[in-house]
Structures are given as structure tokens and as C-alpha cells.
Structure 1
Amino acid sequence: MKFAIFGAGGVGGYLGARLADAGHDVHLVARGDHLSALQSDGLRLESVAGDTSVDLPATDDPSKIGTCDYVLLCTKAHDVEDAAADLHPLLGEDTAVVSFQNGVDSERWVADEVGEAHVVGGVAYIFSTIKEPGVVEHTGGPARFVYGELDGERTPRIEALHEAMSESDGVDAVLADDIAVELWRKFTFICAQAGMTATTRLPIGDVRASDASWEMFEAIMREVVAVAQAEGVDVPEGTVSEWLDFARDLDPEMYSSLHYDLTHGKAMELDALNGAVVRHAAATDVDVPMNRAVTAILRPWADKNSQQ
């Protein structure tokens, strides 16, 4: 099958390499120095699940790729709307655009541009990043990718995607019964992990060591679950407890990508994370003071970084 990886960074580069190794026709969309390295030297994946190198066509112009069976949209959340406008040359009648971003709004943003019929929801659990131009480093995490049609239907295209993902070494592939639940489950954790490590500028171990901060970590998650349930998403009641147990076992020196972007002057995903909780809550009767606090504290930095 033919895949376009739109955003061949940590997540997209990992998937592109694994799918190519499984024999699929993979095209990469990237930019800047990373694109130049992909074009001259190919893509190298350094992974705890096994290294590989692949020489794949790479471009910053989707019209040079043509229509695909699947587009895996792996940009940062704040780049989704701009990226969606560039997807049209890749789309055939039944092309699926699988959105792998943090947050719960990307699918709607993509659907507004290309139509809901093209959109498949996706969740990625992986610790990977661009180590240097042309090199993607996978340092840990389950390399677990969850996806599903927005209406939960088991269509031929989602079954075929599941087969392609499942046969790719180093990919833990999961076809979801209800992708909205999966999106909000991850969102619950990442809002707390990102929000607390960014606002305190300290790793998770220090957050856990402070009773007040750990209580806020839990409160952020409870607010997210309450908003999801108010919107009709059936997030399981045990979600917060499960994530707390998970967070207790994390490396005490772990931060988050939001913290990295904050401290490195990069565009931040605040509006896709805690800011999104505040927006969604406004349409419900759920109060979200902890997420409002995180958003207020980080807003000046998000605005400042976006101008750099």
C-alpha cells in the first residue's frame, strides 16, 4: 500500500521506517535541514526495538507524491490546520488521513478542511524525536499506535491499515472500538504531565515529591475526565487511578515535550492541551480551575515563543 508520512519527525519517521521495512510504498513529507538530510542520506532510525536505515522519497511538496491509500499526519498539533490545507494532492476517493497528534481537536480540524469521510483518529504512545537531521531516535515507550474510524465502523480501509501496521516490526498496533475514548484517555494524562512539568519547570519526580503539586496533577486529570464525560465520551471511571499508577513509575527525571518547547523557545502545544480543556469546558457545566491555572501561567510564554 502507498503511504504518505506528513511530518517525518519522531513519530512519523518511526512509522515511515517500520512500514517501509514491511514492504510498503512510503513517501515522506518534511522540511528544512531534516528534509535535506533525508534526500541526501536517507532516514536512519535508532531504536530500542531495533535500528534500521531506509532510503525513501522525501519532499516538501505533496503534489509530487500523488494520491495515496493512507496519509499519516504526524505534525505538531499547532501545525495541523496549515498541514491540512496541503493534503488535497494526496487524497483519492477513499484515502484515509490518520491524525497522530496530542490533544482531541486535530480530527475536527482536518475534517473541516478535507471532509470527515477522509479522517481516521489516531493515538501514539512512543518516546521518539529527531536526534539530528535525517536521524530519528526512539528511546523508549511501547511504540503503541491506536487508531479507528470516527464512527467506530470496521471498514475495509481500517482493517487494511491494521494489517499493515500489525505486520510492521516494532509497532504495537491496536484497532480501537471507540477512538474518541482513546483520544481522551491519553489527553487526560498528557495534560497533567505536560502541564505540571512545564509550569513547575521541574521533572515528574519533583512533582511527585510535593503533596500540593501531586494533588494538582491528579486534579488536572479529574477535570479532563469530567469534561469528556460531559461531552458524551465514555472515559472509564478508573482512568485517573490508572494514570496515577503509571506516573508513579516514571523516571523521576522525565519532563515533557511542552516543557522542552517552553525552555527552548519553540512553539508550544498549550492550546491543544490545557487550553483545549478550558475551551471544551466552556460548553459544559464543568469547572476546570487547575487547567485554567496552567493555561494562564503558560500563556505569556506560548505567545512569546510563537513569535520567534
Structure 2
Amino acid sequence: MIEHPRICIVGAGAIGGLFAGRLAHAGNAISVLARGRTLEALRTHGMRLESQGQRMAPPVRASDDAAELGPQDIVIITVKAPALPEVARSIAPMVGADTIVIPALNGIPWWFFLAPGQPLAGTRLRSVDPEGAIETHLPLPQVLGAVVFASASTPEPGLSRHASGDRLVFGEPGGGTSARAETVAALFSRAGFNASASADVRTDIWTKLLGNACFNPVSMLTGAHTDVMIDDSRLHDLFVAMMEEALALGSRLGLSTQVSSRDRIAFTRSLGHVKTSMLQDVEAGRPVEIDSILGALVEAAGAMRFPTPALDAVYALARMRARMLGLYPG
């Protein structure tokens, strides 16, 4: 990779704003693909970020036209999963033959089973890429996997408020080490993140999924924060059942997370009064990421003929709830 790569952040929401703000503040030339009020705010004020007691507003090049921004060395996608098929089409002018595409998304990404040499190899997850649009426009050899262990919010357009966490993991979809994963991790480390390269990013994704797949959809159903749910004995038992199913499925898929369900639940409880991203989306009237966070997991279980009754039930209820709120297609 070149010494001063051209980097574009696609979507300047909470996490995208955190990336753009920190990377630009560290001296990188950052472009942001945005639209509407966010685009106006970026052009007027720069990328405003509140993080670790600091307030910064480094300038960024912002546009709603991918062709205007031109080919990039690194494209980091931070939009919500329901928007990804259209985004994959629209960013084509920025993706050259050597561009590294990093989807920093919640849930299971479309590429999770595409690499060879693993259970379900070559399987397209129809729950996240039903028509294959993402797979077509973002070729697997250009994709670098990512996991984000950070919490941030967007109180207003063009402003990211970083709450906690700065750990990032990057890795190849097919596993193993690579120079580009190490280089990208070093780039983010210089911007103040706790970033590392992983030889098994799929397991890292699955480990994060354990919490998201349980707490997010149930919070949407109940309207409750994580601590309130975990302290309810019946919901606690439900979370244990869901995580045990996810852990067992992961083991069948060759993903050894080395974490117990009760330890994972206890960790989330230690974080305090947390409102999940899915509950935030419901309250804001935004489409929910129910398919990438839970639907893809249920789809994988079906493909493996592996029973997941608790996960199936919560997925069915959450989908119907989102549909009745007008936040889910169909």
C-alpha cells in the first residue's frame, strides 16, 4: 500500500464519523461520501467528533457523488446493512482494481461463507444479499473483514459522539495473515485506535455477534436497555438459551469463540445502562438491521440443518414487530 493512501468513508454516521474524525485528525487526507444535511454539515464545519474528552473538527472532502471523489486506495463502508446493496452499486467509481474495501458493519456480512475451505463455503446469504448485488459490485478478493468494538452516537448531522471502546480488528475473509491487514491496522493505530490484524476475523465477527444477536432484537421487542433486560430472570434465561444455540452453531461451523454465554452476558451487564443500536433505530424511525444481525444467523443454522428454536422465535417476533412499525420490507 502507498505511504499516504486515499481513504474514503462511506456514511458519516456514528461509527463513520468516528473513523473520519480520528483519521483526518491524525493527518490523513479523508473523503466522505454523504448526502443531505450531513453533507452540508461536513462542508460547513468539517467532521466534528467528540472523543476521549477532545473536540475536533478536521476538514474532510465531502461529496454525494462517488465519481467526483474518484478512485480510492481504501473504501470503508459504515452504512446500515439494509442500505448496502444500493451503496455497493453507487460506489463503483471509487473502487479500482487495487482498492481495499472494508465493510465495518453490524452482524454477519455478505461475504462470510463465500471463501473456500470452510463449512457452507460458497453460500450466499440471501438474508443480507438476496439478489447478489453486493457480491457482484464488491468482489471478494478486494474485501478486508473488520470488527468494531466501539460505541458512538450521532446527536446531529455531521457530529459523532464517541461513548466508549476503540478496539478494531481487521482480517482476510478466507483467514490467515496478510500484509494489507497489518498495514490497515497500523493506519488506525496511528489514529488512536486499539487496532490489530487477526488470522481468524470470522471468529472475531461471531464473538461480537453473540451479544448483538441477543440484546438488539429483544430490546426492540421490549423497549428496554440492556441492564434492565439482563436483570429480569426470564429474559436472562432467554439470553443464555440464544447464546448457547449461537455458540453451538459456531462450533459446528468451525468458529471457536472461547467464551461462555454467562460470561458474555455478564460483560454486557458490566457496561451499565446501554440502549442498543436497534432500539435507537426504532425510536428514530430508521430501518432495522434485523436480517444481518439475526436473520443471517438463522439462515446459516437452516443451511446446516442445526436446530435453533430460541433464535428462530425471537427472529420471527422481531421481524413482525419491525414490519408493523414500517421499518422492515414486505
| TM-score higher than 0.5 | yes
What is the deviation of 1:9?
Answer: 1.0
Contact 2:101 2:138 (C-alpha < 8 Å) held by counterparts: no
* TM-score, with length taken from structure 1: 0.92
1:130 aligns with 2:154: yes
How many Å separate the matches in 2 of 1:87 and 1:3?
13
**Shift of residue 272 of structure 1?**
1.1
Counterpart of 1:77 in structure 2 is 81
1:243 pairs with 2:264: yes
Aligned match for 2:50, one of 26, 46, 58: 46
Q: Which moved more, 1:64-73 or 1:191-200?
A: 191-200
Letter in 1 for 2:139: G
Check conservation: 1:99, 1:106, Cα contact below 8 A. no
Alignment length (residue pairs): 304
Is 1:221 aligned to residue 243 of structure 2? yes
> Does the residue aligned with 2:303 lie in a helix, a strand or coil?
coil
1:198 shift after superposition: 1.8
Match of 2:306 in 1: 286
Q: Given residue 159 of structure 2, which amino acid in structure 1 is its aligned partner? A: V
Q: Structure 1 residue 49: deviation in Å?
A: 5.2
Could you tell me how far apart the structure 1 residues matched to 2:170 and 2:95 are? 19
Q: 1: CA distance between counterparts of 2:53 and 2:110?
A: 28
- CA distance, structure 2, for counterparts of residue 226 and residue 31 of structure 1: 42
Is 2:280 aligned against 1:255? Answer: no
Mapped contact 2:177–2:198 kept (Cα < 8 A): no
| TM-score using structure 2 length | 0.87
Report Cα offsets for 1:109-162 as digits up to 9, x if no partner. 54442211110111111111222122111122x111111111234333222212
Report how far residue 47 of structure 1 moved.
1.4
Alignment correspondent of 1:230: 252
**Map of 2:124 onto structure 1:** none
Partner SS for 2:144:
strand
Identity across matched positions, percent: 27
Task: Point out the more displaced range, 58-67 or 153-162.
Answer: 153-162
Matched, 1:12 2:35: no
Bigger drift between 294-303 and 131-140 goes to 294-303
Q: Which moved more, 1:294-303 or 1:25-34?
A: 294-303
Once residues 206 and 288 of structure 2 are traced to their aligned partners in structure 1, the CA distance between those partners, rounded to angstroms, is 20
CA distance in 2, matches of 1:116, 1:287: 30
Residue 170 of structure 2 contacts residue 184 of structure 2 at CA under 8 Å; is this kept in 1? Answer: no
Residue 294 of structure 1, CA deviation: 1.4
Instruction: Measure how far apart 1:234 and its partner are.
Output: 2.9
Cα distance between partner residues in 2 of 1:268 and 1:221: 21
Distance 1:74 1:39 in 2: 19
What is the one-letter code of the residue matched to 1:115?
P
How far residue 244 of structure 1 moved from its aligned partner, in angstroms, is 2.0
Indicate conservation of the 8 Å contact 1:278/1:291, yes or no.
yes
Residues 57-98 of structure 1, C-alpha deviation per residue, up to 9 Å, x if partnerless? 111111111111111111111111211112221122221111
SS in 1 for 2:54: coil
Preserved contact between residue 185 and residue 239 of structure 1 (Cα < 8 Å): no
Name which of 226, 232, 247 aligns with 1:210.
232
Q: Decide whether the 8 Å contact of 1:262 with 1:301 is kept in 2.
A: no
Q: Which amino acid aligns with 2:227?
A: G
